Amino acid sequence: MIELKVTGMTCGHCESAVNKALSAVAGVTRVVEVNRESEKVLVEGQVDIQALIDVIKEEGYNAERVS
């Protein structure tokens, strides 16, 4: 499970946009959670973490891996 902190999401549409973008990344098997209130995103799969961060940034949000 990969956990990211995503900032800048303000509404349900933001959550949907991030979810859709992450789902399209090669290697993602499931987007478990996208939560604007906790700023938490959980993703399952064998995927390059930088690819996840990049696609979130392309949507206009900030992202970083949670240790």
| Domain spans of the chain, in order of start | 2-65
The tens-digit pLDDT sequence of the chain (67 residues) is 999 999 999 999 999 999 999 999 999 999 999 999 999 999 999 999 999 999 999 999 999 999 6
Report the CATH fold assignment for 2-65.
Alpha-Beta Plaits (3.30.70)
pTM above 0.75, yes or no: yes
The DSSP annotation for 35-67 comes to ETTTTEEEEEES--HHHHHHHHHHTT-EEEE--
- Cα 67 to Cα 48: distance, rounded to the nearest angstrom: 15
Strand partners, 63: 6
